[in-house]
Chain A
Amino acid sequence: MSEQKKLSIIGFSGDFDKLTAAFTLATGAAAIGYEVNLFFTFWGLDALKIKQGRSPVGKGFLPKVFGLFMGGLKSAPVSRLNFLGLSPKIFRYLMRKNNVATLEELVEAAKELNVNIYACEMAMHILGIQKSDLIHEVKDVLGVPTFLKISEGGQTLFI
Chain B
Amino acid sequence: MAQFNLDVTRDHCPMTFVRTKIQLSKLATGDVLDVLVTEGEPLENIPRSSTEQGFNVLSITETDQKGIHLISIQK
Contacts of B18 in A (CB 8 A): 27-28, 30-31, 101, 109, 113
At the interface, yes or no: B1 with Cβ under 8 Å from chain A?
no
> How extensive is the interface on chain B, given as a class?
10 to 19
> How extensive is the interface on chain A, given as a class?
10 to 19
B12, B17, B54: which contacts A31 (Cβ < 8 A)? B17
At the interface, yes or no: A112 with Cβ under 8 Å from chain B?
yes
Interface of A is mostly: helix
Residues A112 and B15 in contact, CB atoms below 8 Å apart: no
Contacts of A112 in B (CB 8 A): 22
Residues B52 and A113 in contact, CB atoms below 8 Å apart: no
Residues A24 and B11 in contact, CB atoms below 8 Å apart: no
Contacts of B45 in A (CB 8 A): 32
At the interface, yes or no: B20 with Cβ under 8 Å from chain A?
yes
Residues A31 and B10 in contact, CB atoms below 8 Å apart: no
At the interface, yes or no: A153 with Cβ under 8 Å from chain B?
no
Residues B22 and A33 in contact, CB atoms below 8 Å apart: no
- Name A's B-contacting residues (CB within 8 A): 1, 24-25, 27-28, 30-33, 98-101, 105-106, 109, 112-113
12 more CB-based (< 8 A) A-B contacts, given A31-B21, A99-B10: A24-B14, A27-B18, A28-B14, A30-B18, A31-B14, A32-B49, A33-B52, A98-B12, A99-B11, A99-B12, A101-B12, A109-B22
- Name B's A-contacting residues (CB within 8 A): 10-15, 17-18, 20-22, 45, 49, 52-54
